[in-house]
A and B are shown apart, each in its own frame.
Chain A
Amino acid sequence: MVIDLNAPEAIIREHRLGSVLSYRGPASELCRLSRTGGLSCHDNTFNQCGDCSAQRAMLPISQIRDGAMVNHAPIGCAGDFSLFNSQFRRGLGYRGLPANNLRALSTNLTESDMVYGGADKLARTIRLANQRFSPAAIFITTSCASGIIGDDVEQVSQEAEAELGVPIVPVYCEGFKSRIWTTGFDACYHSILRKLVKPPKVKRRNLINIMGFTNEPAFTPFLAKLGLEANYLVHQSSVEELGRMSEAAASAHMCETLGTYLARGLEQEFGVPEVPSPPPYGLDWSDRWLRAVGQITDRSDLAEKVIIEERRRIGPKLEEIRKELSGLSVYAVAGASFGHSMLAICQDLGLKVLGMTGFHHDLRFDNDYEETNSLNNAVDLIGDMPHYHVCNKQPYQLVNILGQLKPDLLMGRHEGLPVAGVKMGIPTFFASDANLMIGYDGLVYTGRMIIRVLRSRNFARNLARHSRPPYTDWWLTQDPFMFRRSGDGF
């Protein structure tokens, strides 16, 4: 779908990608319904808390190392500034830079701003951000409150830009606007594409854009095998580096859910191709990724050599790991596409994949590549999964799913969900660093971490004996999807 960079806002995922929040059934059926239609976006009649677009947009925006962020919101929306700060400081370390505090302000909207409007306060706060941080750009993130009272953020931004001579970048991420919180990633990328990315002055044939989070720079040694460099986006990038992402040879990401909007934008506007492959998790997808990158950068022969060498190198280690894990059953819970990647790894480790819960499902992706349709890829690789679920977090559903499936191992990413498995006595691997799991070494790394989890299972076993779920006995015997709204197409 074409991205319209003249529009101030990204189109929300429900409308753009046909995303849905609820599904239960075989994975293959979801693939089919994604092609034919018949699914619509509903939450349940009873829900536990989700996340919001502002959280997803503000995380990467806050990590831009010489930018400043102004959150136009009441102070609670800045509740995750300190989380962003801990990531920012760690991420600077990954780039060999000294730790520094986050450069972010909240406009701290109060009751009188709700009555009289918050535009003046926003303008003052932008000036304050400029004075305090001398930033290379100032990003404004919006909120439910600023959206409902209708502050004209676009106009304030234009005036501030004229006054200060610094790019002012509005990021429209009001929490209520989209039920799919990953819309916030798109809001972040849209604003960067719209305001900051410049046409390339040179082409850097050795540079590959990597859309990811604040994680270990593990793409660097991986790409070095092909003589290529990683350009990590957007966490801890400088504004100038963001402006030059159009110079790269190609774009890739550690998660299709995260990265395809930016990749599509770069391809559409500047001809930077998106690597037509699943991300490099597990043997098969690592092979495919290296081949695709090799083809784009004219290194196909080298890629084949690397694949053979890497598979040979880790072969014995992988055999050791498989001996310990073979036949154990696994269930995953994660943001959609990264979950599929974890399953690809599980398959290679000899685990028996029961299924997974994704937090949403995009019927399509922003690009036109069949190669990045992550659920199709997972089904092709693993075979059909009879127990495929889509739930917007919703641990009350997860505990009943886990209670029925009783996996030997739970794999999870995203804070707050996987601990439900531990409290049920299920050894649980938490994917704290997605980059460390890439490629052939990442497969070995993940296997070893899973073995550590399994060997320390006394922790889960003991905790489960002393944990009560916050659910009624009645609920724990119910169909996990009994609160779904009708009309979900399943």
Chain B
Amino acid sequence: MGSEALEQPRYVCAIGAQQTVLAIPRAIPIVHAGPGCSSKISGALGDQAGLQGAGYAGGSAVPSTNFSESEVVFGGEQKLRSTIDGTLKVMDGDLFVILTGCTSDIVGDDVTSIAAEYRQSGFPVVNAETGGFKGNNYLGHELVMLAIIEQFLGNGQESPVDPGLVNVFSVIPCQDAFWRGDLRTIKMLLERLGLRANILFGYDSAGLGEWRNIPSARFNLVLSPWVGLETARTLETRYGTPFLHWPALPVGAVETSRFLRAIGDFAQIDPRIVKSVIDDEEEIFYGYLGSAADFLTEARNGLPLLFHAVADSAYALALGRFLVNEMGFSPGLICATENPPESERCQVSVQFEDLAGDFGPVVFENDGGLIQDRLDQALDTERGALILASSWEKDLAARHDGHLLRVSLPIYDRLIMGHSYLGYEGGLRFLEDIYNLVLGKSA
């Protein structure tokens, strides 16, 4: 399942982890792969992900061995060495992550030994085997995190536990087009409870310093349906750090307050502090929601109350829970697109149980052709539904007078910078975006 032909892809291959590397401030990927691999990834996960662009060292700036015929025949190790040497001189970075592609993984270059040699010489170089045939970029993201932890961090014995520090393993940079705003929101929420978050990626991360501190954290937070679990389990084994798995990214007051209480319980934070934060935030959130209630009451007959989601499990779950539990929407088709490993599917399905609507439980489907068939049928039941999906769904949405909010990849017709639907404010922003879609179509 999930390994047959695909139409309308919504993710890339494991080497998409290039964007995971680039999301760490001053980390630089070295792509040991075909000449087009890096730029295809930059397109799919940069431009086609809310027009995110190249950032500091991404896009055309990514060092690459640009595998050619002679490396296929004679091996690419020599070219990799000269590329690493050049990178260390030219590129201004703190960490260098070699990512192998199909070509180098098939011809069998010993990249692990080469990376180790550079580390022994004092250079911060690690490697991950991200050949495209090995899996998708959800896997690749985790492989890069594990590579840095296993090859770069010590055994943790010299790191006393810092009781206020939590490592966050959550959304995948760029695959979540809203990742920058999302991670900033998560960090700020944790800080409201008095914790300090190693957010690890994005403008709010301190970069490699944070990664070095991973062994010191009091606990690890896996805020995602399944991505990051492997990393948290590894850290538990390696450093004895406990982890909290909270599958749903919190959107709106109901879910965010639940999330904060769960964090408070796990981190044994004074319940009065947690309550005070929640009370303050809910006061504001429901102030705004109450002020929109006039509109929501009087315009209700013309507003969508059924939604369909075609997104990865993280976003389908997060946005779905908010719409159902906070806003009283009915779930329609819920389609998780990222082809999770078989071993995780059962527990991911359980997370969606309260979102099961007329179309049954969550569907795992990664082929756009089949997704469109299902969505077409679902949209036939009621016109004017809300559709949380990608740019691929434009025509279907239009055909059924649906309201398409592009939240999942690819998104090539929406600029996303710091926008986030997470947290209290994010929930309000999500509502603004939904209803502005509807209002924007008025005469």
- How many of B's residues come within 8 Å of A, CB to CB? 77
| Complex contact B63–A416 (CB within 8 A) | no
User: A75 and B90 in contact (CB under 8 A), knowing A52-B34, A55-B39, A111-B134?
Assistant: no
Judged by a CB distance under 8 angstroms, whether B249 is at the interface is no
Task: State A117–B140 Cα separation when bound (angstroms).
Answer: 23
Which of B98-106, B290-298, B374-382 interfaces with chain A?
B98-106
Judged by a CB distance under 8 angstroms, whether B324 is at the interface is no
| Complex contact B63–A46 (CB within 8 A) | yes
Judged by a CB distance under 8 angstroms, whether B11 is at the interface is yes
Task: State A475–B90 Cα separation when bound (angstroms).
Answer: 5
Q: Which residues of A contact B61 (CB under 8 A)?
A: 48, 395-396, 470
Which of these, A47, A77, A81, A149, contacts B63 with CB under 8 Å? Answer: A47
Q: Which residues of B contact A76 (CB under 8 A)?
A: 12-16, 37, 40-41, 44, 132, 137
Which of A172-180, A187-195, A282-290, A298-306 interfaces with chain B?
A172-180
Which of these, B42, B60, B71, contacts A395 with CB under 8 Å? Answer: B60
* Residues 11-47 of chain B, each 1 if its beta carbon lies under 8 Å from chain A, else 0: 1111110000000000010010011111111111101
Task: State A81–B53 Cα separation when bound (angstroms).
Answer: 17
Task: State A49–B28 Cα separation when bound (angstroms).
Answer: 13
Which of these, A51, A108, A121, A149, contacts B106 with CB under 8 Å? Answer: A149
Judged by a CB distance under 8 angstroms, whether A104 is at the interface is yes
* Residues 51-76 of chain B, each 1 if its beta carbon lies under 8 Å from chain A, else 0: 00110110111111111110110000
Q: Which residues of A contact B369 (CB under 8 A)?
A: 105, 128, 132
User: A46 and B35 in contact (CB under 8 A), knowing A55-B40, A75-B9, A149-B106?
Assistant: no
| Complex contact B44–A79 (CB within 8 A) | yes
Task: State A468–B25 Cα separation when bound (angstroms).
Answer: 12
Q: Which residues of A contact B137 (CB under 8 A)?
A: 76
Q: Which residues of A contact B132 (CB under 8 A)?
A: 73-77, 109, 145
Closest CB in chain B relative to A59 CB, distance in Å: 11
Judged by a CB distance under 8 angstroms, whether A296 is at the interface is no
Which of these, B6, B41, B57, contacts A470 with CB under 8 Å? Answer: B57
Task: State A392–B48 Cα separation when bound (angstroms).
Answer: 23
Q: Which residues of B contact A143 (CB under 8 A)?
A: 102
| Complex contact B35–A49 (CB within 8 A) | yes
Judged by a CB distance under 8 angstroms, whether B412 is at the interface is yes
Task: State A245–B391 Cα separation when bound (angstroms).
Answer: 33
| Complex contact A49–B133 (CB within 8 A) | no
Task: State A471–B91 Cα separation when bound (angstroms).
Answer: 4
User: A483 and B86 in contact (CB under 8 A), knowing A105-B5, A416-B60?
Assistant: yes
Judged by a CB distance under 8 angstroms, whether B87 is at the interface is yes
Judged by a CB distance under 8 angstroms, whether A419 is at the interface is yes
| Complex contact B107–A148 (CB within 8 A) | yes
Closest CB in chain A relative to B315 CB, distance in Å: 17
| Complex contact B7–A132 (CB within 8 A) | yes
* Residues 467-484 of chain A, each 1 if its beta carbon lies under 8 Å from chain B, else 0: 011111111000000010
* Residues 394-416 of chain B, each 1 if its beta carbon lies under 8 Å from chain A, else 0: 11000000000000011011000
Task: State A45–B80 Cα separation when bound (angstroms).
Answer: 9
Q: Which residues of B contact A44 (CB under 8 A)?
A: 86
Which of these, B39, B106, B136, B392, contacts A49 with CB under 8 Å? Answer: B39
Judged by a CB distance under 8 angstroms, whether B4 is at the interface is yes
Q: Which residues of B contact A121 (CB under 8 A)?
A: 4-5
| Complex contact B64–A47 (CB within 8 A) | yes
Q: Which residues of A contact B65 (CB under 8 A)?
A: 47
Which of these, A49, A52, A113, A473, contacts B60 with CB under 8 Å? Answer: A49
Output the residue of A48, A53, A395, A396 with the most chain B CB within 10 A: A48
Which of these, B60, B71, B394, contacts A176 with CB under 8 Å? Answer: B71
Closest to B76 in A: A176
Closest CB in chain B relative to A70 CB, distance in Å: 8
Judged by a CB distance under 8 angstroms, whether B325 is at the interface is no
| Complex contact A105–B6 (CB within 8 A) | yes
Task: State A86–B51 Cα separation when bound (angstroms).
Answer: 13
Judged by a CB distance under 8 angstroms, whether B93 is at the interface is yes
| Complex contact B391–A82 (CB within 8 A) | yes
| Complex contact A86–B90 (CB within 8 A) | no
> In A423-481, which residues have CB < 8 Å from any B CB?
468-475
Closest to A126 in B: B5
| Complex contact B5–A125 (CB within 8 A) | yes
| Complex contact A74–B102 (CB within 8 A) | yes
Judged by a CB distance under 8 angstroms, whether B83 is at the interface is yes
> In A60-109, which residues have CB < 8 Å from any B CB?
70, 73-83, 85-86, 99-102, 104-109
Closest to A111 in B: B133
Closest to B13 in A: A76
Judged by a CB distance under 8 angstroms, whether A124 is at the interface is yes
* Residues 207-236 of chain B, each 1 if its beta carbon lies under 8 Å from chain A, else 0: 000000000000000000000000000000
Closest CB in chain A relative to B372 CB, distance in Å: 8
> In A35-53, which residues have CB < 8 Å from any B CB?
43-53
Closest to B67 in A: A176
| Complex contact B92–A471 (CB within 8 A) | yes
Closest CB in chain B relative to A214 CB, distance in Å: 14
Judged by a CB distance under 8 angstroms, whether B85 is at the interface is yes
Task: State A54–B3 Cα separation when bound (angstroms).
Answer: 22
Task: State A48–B63 Cα separation when bound (angstroms).
Answer: 4
Q: Which residues of B contact A420 (CB under 8 A)?
A: 60
Closest CB in chain B relative to A53 CB, distance in Å: 8
Judged by a CB distance under 8 angstroms, whether A114 is at the interface is yes
Q: Which residues of B contact A474 (CB under 8 A)?
A: 89
Output the residue of B11, B53, B92, B412 with the most chain A CB within 10 A: B92
Residues of B bordering A, CB below 8 Å: 3-9, 11-16, 28, 31, 34-45, 47-48, 53-54, 56-57, 59-69, 71-72, 82-83, 85-87, 89-93, 101-103, 106-107, 131-137, 369, 391-392, 394-395, 409-410, 412-413
Q: Show 11 A/B contacts (Cβ-Cβ < 8 Å), sorted by A.
A: A46-B63, A52-B36, A76-B132, A80-B40, A80-B48, A81-B8, A82-B9, A82-B409, A106-B5, A149-B106, A396-B90
17 new A-B pairs (CB below 8 Å) besides A110-B135, A144-B67?
Answer: A46-B83, A48-B61, A48-B64, A49-B39, A54-B36, A74-B102, A76-B41, A80-B40, A80-B43, A83-B44, A86-B412, A144-B103, A176-B67, A179-B66, A392-B66, A396-B91, A419-B53
Q: Which 4 A-B pairs have the closest CB atoms?
A: A46-B86, A52-B36, A76-B13, A79-B44
